[in-house]
Structure 1
Amino acid sequence: MKILDVTLTLFAWDEIPSTSYGAHTGRFEGGSKLGLLSISTDSGITGHAFLGSAFYPADMDGATLIKYLKPILVGQNPLDRERLYKAMWKRVRTTTARSIGACDVALWDIAGKVAGLPIHQLLGSFRTKVPAYISSAVLASPQAYADEALHYKSLNLIAYKIHPPQIWRDDIKVCEAVRKAVGDDYLLMLDSVWSYDYQQALRVGQVIQDLGYYWYEDPLADADIYNYVELKKHLSIPIMATEYPAGGLDSYAPWIKERATDFLRGDVAVKGGITTLMKTAHLAEAFHLNYEVHHGGNSLNNFANLHVIMALQNTEFFEVLLPSASQKYGLIEDIQIDADGMVHAPSEPGLGAQIDFELIKRKTLGILS
């Protein structure tokens, strides 16, 4: 089997609601561009992935994918994933982890279709369902967070994670209001999206520790290993880092060596695909750490993430980032949460997602080839 072609179809994502997750995204709304990556083979099987998100259009990465990664792939056996993965990472200075991740996901999609199996079974399934938690956008007031948390608690979602205003005193008020609303037994997390200096992070951490929050995510700058080590010395609440910077397997090594985080973190977009996530999760397992999978930024990435989660013992949850209209697009049917708050493993070969090819055809803006 050989790869014949690699193309990226750019298509419009319209009617995105006004949304912010913090300074790293700003406030975005209106339109963006997704890219449907297609890796076609001489056997008639095509692997797919989505590139881009509601706040990061696919054309920001698409040109480098075609220029620098396509020549590596065309003419090769798509089942030689490890060799191709290594070759693509050698081009990371001229392309991006997101582009590498999309190619890796599409290669896994091909492998699943060849085998007639969902990707998680190729990886080695551990489970068939996983509890989902809700992850907020930045909301207007403490009461807005409290109301949202109560709503999803009533729908049996296992936990609620706060993306706060990122002004530390205001963030404390939000955390207190949500805890008061949902009671002492409901799981809560705080993701401060790299917004505090050390003193602010310590003050907020002490409060949410006393409030019984489950984890404290990304309070400090994404590469501030020194102060993460110091913060862990003074807090008992588990601390989560490593979602960023974008990078591959070796980016995690100093965090483990310095014992700077209690979890490892990543997703197929910012860490370069399913292959990186599996390598890193197994690395984490060797140190008895959990590898919690971050939201993927688009619907097909979330399918890829879900396959990884189904093949891991050392992960607990599936993240559902709100609002849905800023995260779900391009599929006939997206991932569903059942009445018990669970998400189930895909059962069809490959990614097992129903791509809405008619929508993509109507919304096509151009094809990079």
Structure 2
Amino acid sequence: MTGLVHYLSPHAVGTVDVALWDIAGKAAGLPVHRLLGTCRDRIPAYFSSAHHATAAEYADEAVYWREQGWRGYKVHAPRGPWLPPGSAPPVAFDVAACAAVRSAVGDGMTLMLDSVWSYDYPQALTVGQAIQDLGYFWYEDPLPDHDIHGYQRLARKLSIPLLATEITPGGLTALPPWITAGATDFLRGDVVIKGGITGLLKIAHLAEAFGMNCEVHDSYNSLNNVAARHVMMAIDNCDWLEVLAFNRSGDHSLAHFSYGLTEPFRVDPEGNVHAPAGPGLGAGIDWDLINSSVTAVVS
């Protein structure tokens, strides 16, 4: 399938790859991370925010998760290339939100900013300089995903680490130019659009060879997030598990992280998510829920 990537969606490759690893783990009676080579049994989670209308809403959300024992929080700037032109606030809002969060949680919480590919270069430089002064841990996707040159320019001007390559087309083979150009400080990957567990593992090993982290992105649904967690337990160059909720202000539910599964998603009081323990992916499927949604069966 990988040899047919010009004709197949990478989502199809990733889906089949995850299923095959699940089968292999169940056949061996071992969790997938044991087949990959377990190096740890837990990883800290960070909360990845929705788009909020005020700086105070970001700050309140970050405080809530800090009080639950979580050690990281990421601001999603209220913008995106999918929004109508002119609908986002000025970039000064993003800086104000980042400052409000830092003021609210203090220096003990790790903070990140994801600007969802939405700045031009001058905007990206202005915001980057501001958040590096605020002690943010990384600066994610400030420029369009194809703009390697712009990321090189930012890297020369900023000391805060850049995190790009989330949606670069081509999987593993698209990433060496970003490394050799010095256009990103971390690589990004997931099990959905980067070729499944196999693809994500290759990206993590590529990053390791260059002394870089591979920070794993949210994998779009509950079962894929379980699959990604297996990879995280088998690599030591990923520091965080992303919990991407996109909840409205004041909504702290994480129920969608368990949707379709029999076991709830859990973060321990120290803010860690633990390795799956069962064979294969180790996730029970809620077939009652799935079957209740069936509208027709075609034979």
Q: Is the 8 A contact 2:25 2:31 kept in 1?
A: yes
Residue 90 of structure 1, CA deviation: 2.4
Q: Is the 8 A contact 2:222 2:256 kept in 1?
A: no
Matched, 1:124 2:47: no
Report the TM-score when normalising by structure 1: 0.74
CA distance in 1, matches of 2:146, 2:204: 20
CA distance in 2, matches of 1:173, 1:305: 33
Q: Is the 8 A contact 1:129 1:343 kept in 2?
A: yes
Alignment RMSD: 1.5
Matched, 1:153 2:66: yes
Q: Structure 1 residues 310-319 or 322-331, which shifts more?
A: 322-331
Residue among 274, 294, 297 paired with 2:217:
294
Residue 276 of structure 1, CA deviation: 0.6
Alignment of 1:23-102 (within 5 A): 88-102=1-15
Give the 3 Å change call, closer, same or farther, for CA 277–220 of structure 1 in structure 2: same
Q: Is the 8 A contact 1:112 1:350 kept in 2?
A: yes
Amino acid at match of 2:109: Y
Match of 1:144 in 2: 57
Q: Is the 8 A contact 1:299 1:334 kept in 2?
A: no
Q: Percent identity?
A: 55
Match of 1:362 in 2: 292
Q: Is the 8 A contact 2:46 2:242 kept in 1?
A: yes
Report the TM-score when normalising by structure 2: 0.91
Match of 2:180 in 1: 257
Bigger relative contact order (CA 8 A; separation at least 6)? 2
CA distance in 2, matches of 1:163, 1:251: 25
CA distance in 1, matches of 2:149, 2:288: 50
Alignment of 1:336-351 (within 5 A): 336-351=266-281
Q: Structure 1 residues 217-226 or 182-191, which shifts more?
A: 182-191
Alignment of 1:309-324 (within 5 A): 309-322=232-245, 323=247, 324=254
Give the 3 Å change call, closer, same or farther, for CA 327–345 of structure 1 in structure 2: closer
Structure 2: gaps of 5 or more residues: 80-88, 248-253
Q: Is the 8 A contact 2:163 2:184 kept in 1?
A: yes
CA distance in 1, matches of 2:57, 2:130: 20
Structure 1: gaps of 5 or more residues: 1-87
Amino acid at match of 2:57: A
Residue 365 of structure 1, CA deviation: 4.1
Alignment of 1:166-185 (within 5 A): 166=79, 167=89, 168-185=91-108
Alignment of 1:205-354 (within 5 A): 205-322=128-245, 323=247, 324-325=254-255, 328-354=258-284
Q: Is the 8 A contact 2:69 2:269 kept in 1?
A: yes
Residue 306 of structure 1, CA deviation: 0.2
Secondary structure of 2:211 counterpart: coil
CA distance in 1, matches of 2:172, 2:104: 40
Q: CA deviation digits over 1:149-184, x for unaligned, max 9?
A: 000001111110010113412111111111111112
Secondary structure of 2:262 counterpart: strand
CA distance in 2, matches of 1:366, 1:344: 38
Q: Is the 8 A contact 1:247 1:270 kept in 2?
A: no
